[in-house]
């Protein structure tokens, strides 16, 4: 069965930070998990490269917009490679495939009779790249996310008949045909329907926005950057292309899960599904919304100088520990804090002392006693019943991954490792080698089998370390995996 998952496409006005990395990492873990389950997975990520915000940043850097986008996109690609993300495609909105696809889709909206022109006056926040209502601003009239006063824009634009789709959309959300997780976010979205949602502008005047995609039937207008950005999920699958390549769309549409943080739900839970309804395409199945990072209790921002550069974590601890550490700081459905001190503590305690120690001492004893244990080759994601340990609830672990509760799943696994270390402390196989070799063998076999399961279950989170563990268990040669720094 197919499984299509996508991250937001990230703005290239700034380099990747751990917020972007975190979303993509969560998606990567679920993609790997679904692959291990035997699903036919398609994993999409990429960059959002048009709009005023990016054009301005390019100018500030004395670069042409395209040159600037190329440079920042390269950094995203490199960082994603460093984190060992296994996406199937990295889409860029400045690619010709996206541009022609978005234009076709925009024309299709017109053909459905869902676009109309209107003179419009509104407050536009360039940081959000969206119009704001008075209600959405703080008491000082500033955008609450960007702390800036939105500019007054008066233009003749194309509008999308969103109102036509509100009723079926609300129903789809209420009935969980479009799941919004966690439920607090679902309620927040349903609350927006109560407040009233208006048709929205889907183009901008080319005079005011020149870095964008032309409206195909009106060159004086550009497609609103959010509308073409959302279309990336369709254009990436070669929608509109003739021939074999178009099979990607046939095979993978609709999106099974969109990953994102809370600030962009409205676009994904309201605007995009309504556009899809207009295009007579299936809406996505699930939107998974995670919380926001703060650093040492403060909002992460360049001006505060507390931005954590994602590659620096890899430099300190290596790629797999960096992945583990980012995911194990807080439950993703809430906001959470990150501090380098806590990351170091967790590396030392949970990886080096707990997991590393269990593996090392077990293998040293097995090696010393010459026990030739064979590794269970069964895939626990496909056949969980093959692994049954008193100290670990494998069906629960898998359920947590199904619910994208990666933090909770890791916690379960960490608990299993702690209990396995305790099991060794209680049973002291090192004292039994001579006294009772059969018992010694039995205890070590128990931990050997547990370690096999632990290694296999860690594969989505720490793929390289999982493979290293399996190798050591096979050849019974212990080597330190987590060096203390």
Of 59, 147, 302, 315, the catalytic one is 302
**Is there a catalytic annotation at residue 350?**
no
Phi, psi of 268, deg, nearest 5: -85, -30
Instruction: Tell the smallest beta-carbon distance from residue 48 to ligand MSP (Å).
Output: 3
Fill in the DSSP letter of residue 477.
-
Distance of CA 237 to CAs 242, 257, 275, 384, Å? 12, 15, 17, 33
Cβ-proximal residues to 124 (8 Å cutoff; 6+ apart), any chain? 130, 131, 132, 150, 151, 152, 153
349: which residues sit within 8 A by CB, 6+ positions away? Answer: none
Query: Which one of 69, 162, 230, 417 is in contact with ligand MSP (CB under 6 A)?
Result: 230
CA-closest candidate to residue 33, choices 22, 25, 21: 25
125: annotated active-site residue: yes
Size of the site for ligand MSP (CB under 6 A): 19
Residue 261 binding ligand MSP, by CB under 6 A: yes
> Which DSSP category does 243 fall into?
S
Among 4, 20, 42, 58, binds ligand MSP (CB under 6 A): 20
Query: Is 17 in the active site?
Result: yes
Does residue 11 belong to the site contacting ligand MSP (CB under 6 A)?
yes
- Cα 312 to Cα 62: distance, rounded to the nearest angstrom: 27
Q: Are strands 257-261 and 218-223 parallel, antiparallel or unpaired?
A: unpaired
Token readout for 176 is: 């969980």
50 given a catalytic annotation = no
Query: Is 302 among the catalytic positions?
Result: yes
C-beta nearest to ligand MSP: residue: 19
CB closer to ligand MSP out of 211 and 423: 211
Active site residue 299: yes
User: For ligand MSP, which residue of 3, 4, 9, 222 counts as binding (CB under 6 A)?
Assistant: 9
At 177, list the tokens.
Answer: 């045909």
Min dist. Cβ of residue 456 to ligand MSP (A):
29
Task: Establish whether 146 is a catalytic residue.
Answer: yes
Can 258 be counted among the known catalytic residues?
no
For position 27 contacting ligand MSP by CB under 6 A, the verdict is no
Q: Which of 33, 16, 23, 1 shows the shortest CA–CA distance to 380?
A: 33
Closest of 42, 37, 91 to residue 256, by C-alpha:
42
Sign of CA pseudo-dihedral 310, 404, 412, 334: positive
Closest CA to 229 of 115, 129, 111, 126: 129
Evaluate whether 122 touches 78 at the Cβ level (below 8 Å).
no
Residue 23: CB minimum distance to ligand MSP, A: 3
Q: Is 300 in the site for ligand MSP (CB under 6 A)?
A: yes
Q: Which residues, numbered 38-77, are part of the site for ligand MSP (CB under 6 A)?
A: 48
Angle of the 310-317 helix axis to the 65-82 helix axis, nearest 10: 30
Which one from 53, 69, 77, 125 is the annotated catalytic residue?
125
32 binds ligand MSP (CB under 6 A): no
Which residues between 264 and 293 bind ligand MSP (CB under 6 A)? 264, 292-293
CB of 16 to ligand MSP, least distance (A): 9
For residue 467, what are the contacts with CB-CB under 8 A and spacing of at least 6?
459
CB closer to ligand MSP out of 300 and 378: 300
Position among 10, 239, 253, 458 found at the interface with ligand MSP (CB under 6 A)? 10
Which residues inside 137-166 make contact with ligand MSP, applying CB under 6 A? none
Q: Which is nearer to ligand MSP, 131 or 448 (CB)?
A: 131
**Which of the stretches 6-14, 138-146, 352-360, 377-385 binds ligand MSP when contact is defined by CB under 6 A?**
6-14
How far is Cα 11 from Cα 307, in angstroms, rounded to an integer? 16
* Residue numbers annotated as active site: 17, 20, 125, 128, 143, 146, 299, 302
List interacting residues with ligand MSP (CB under 6 A).
Answer: 8-11, 19-20, 22-23, 48, 229-230, 232, 260-261, 263-264, 292-293, 300
């Amino acid at each position: 069965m197919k499984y299509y998952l996508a991250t937001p496409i990230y703005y290239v006005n700034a380099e990747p930070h751990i917020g972007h990395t975190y979303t993509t990492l969560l998606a990567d873990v679920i993609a790997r998990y679904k692959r291990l389950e035997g699903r036919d997975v398609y994993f999409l990520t990429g960059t959002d490269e048009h709009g005023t915000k990016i054009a301005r940043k390019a100018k500030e850097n004395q670069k042409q917009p395209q040159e600037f986008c190329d440079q920042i996109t390269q950094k995203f690609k490199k960082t994603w490679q460093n984190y060992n993300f296994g996406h199937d495609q990295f889409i860029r909105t400045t690619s010709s495939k996206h541009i022609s696809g978005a234009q076709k889709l925009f024309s299709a909206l017109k053909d459905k009779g869902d676009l109309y022109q209107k003179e419009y006056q509104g407050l536009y926040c360039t940081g959000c790249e969206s119009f704001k209502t008075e209600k959405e601003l703080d008491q000082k009239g500033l955008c609450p996310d960007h702390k800036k006063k939105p500019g007054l824009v008066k233009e003749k634009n194309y509008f999308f008949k969103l109102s036509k789709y509100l009723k079926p959309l609300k129903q789809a959300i209420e009935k969980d045909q479009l799941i919004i997780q966690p439920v607090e976010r679902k309620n927040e979205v349903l609350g927006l329907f109560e407040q009233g949602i208006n048709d929205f502008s889907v183009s901008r005047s080319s005079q005011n926005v020149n870095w964008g995609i032309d409206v195909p039937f009106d060159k004086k207008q550009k497609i609103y950057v959010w509308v073409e950005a959302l279309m990336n999920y369709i254009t990436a699958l070669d929608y509109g292309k003739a021939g074999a390549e178009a099979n990607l769309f046939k095979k993978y549409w609709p999106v099974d899960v969109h990953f994102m943080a809370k600030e962009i739900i409205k676009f994904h839970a309201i605007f995009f599904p309504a556009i899809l309804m207009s295009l007579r395409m299936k809406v996505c199945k699930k939107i998974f919304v995670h919380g926001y990072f703060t650093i040492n209790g403060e909002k992460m921002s360049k001006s505060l100088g507390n931005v954590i550069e994602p590659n620096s974590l890899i430099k300190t601890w290596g790629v797999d520990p960096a992945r583990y550490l980012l995911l194990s700081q807080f439950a993703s459905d809430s906001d959470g804090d990150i501090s380098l001190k806590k990351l170091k503590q967790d590396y030392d305690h949970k990886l080096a002392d707990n997991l590393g120690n269990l593996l090392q001492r077990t293998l040293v004893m097995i090696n010393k006693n010459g026990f030739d244990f064979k590794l269970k080759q069964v895939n626990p994601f496909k056949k969980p019943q093959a692994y049954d340990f008193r100290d670990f609830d494998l069906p629960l672990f898998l359920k947590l991954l199904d619910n994208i509760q990666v933090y909770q799943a890791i916690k379960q696994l960490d608990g299993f490792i702690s209990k396995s270390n305790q099991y060794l402390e209680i049973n002291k196989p090192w004292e039994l080698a001579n006294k009772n070799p059969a018992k010694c063998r039995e205890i070590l076999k128990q931990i050997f089998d547990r370690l096999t399961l632990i290694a296999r279950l860690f594969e989505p989170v720490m793929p390289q370390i999982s493979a290293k563990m399996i190798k050591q268990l096979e050849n019974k040669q212990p080597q330190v995996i987590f060096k203390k720094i």
